[in-house]
Amino acid sequence: YDLNVDPSQDDKATEIKLLSFKRPHMRAFHCSWFCFFIAFFIWFAIAPLLPEVKDTLGLTKQQIWTSNICSVFGTIFLRFINGPLCDKYGARIPMGIILAFASIPCAMTGLVNSATSLAVLRFFIGFGGSTFVMCQFWTSRMFTKEVVGTANALVGGWGNLGGGVTQLVMGSVLF
């Protein structure tokens, strides 16, 4: 291993080397936050477009609010499923499947033509936000109890940064 590990804690790393991409610990660390970053980019991509969607489709504030609720509900719903999936398959495979799945409705955003289709689309896009479970599971499996809190904070924070970067990118590119 490139990092010091604790054999009594299942060979989990006892340290974090942010500039390392060596397997398995730091590669998992970086893959975890980057996948979560992508998930948040997918999940938040439509948010800066909602005023345009509202005007184009003639939607009310209530209909936009409903689509917001559907997005969060999709995330919450899938988070309950993701825990057992991680227990059975680990974090990597479910993370990849959910990212691939969530990217499809994200790419279909331009096909929305009603409040109902917006709500359904945002429900499925919301699945991307559920990858938080895999992000935290993956990192927790790689680091000892002495550093796992720091590791989880870093991957969670850098992953959440995807939402902020989305606002910058979508706002800069489109407006």
> For residue 171, what pLDDT is reported?
82
pTM of the model: 0.92
Q: What share of the chain is helix, strand, coil (3-state, %, to 5)?
A: 75, 5, 20
Cα–Cα distances in Å, from 141 out to 43, 86, 132, 137, 154? 25, 11, 14, 6, 15
pLDDT digits (tens, 9 = 90+) for 87-126: 999 999 999 999 999 999 999 999 999 999 999 999 999 9
Q: Which class for 46: exposed (0-12), middle (13-18), buried (19 or more C-beta within 10 A)?
A: buried
Cβ neighbours around 117 below 10 Å, total: 14
Which pLDDT band, with edges at 50, 70 and 90, does 2 fall under? very high
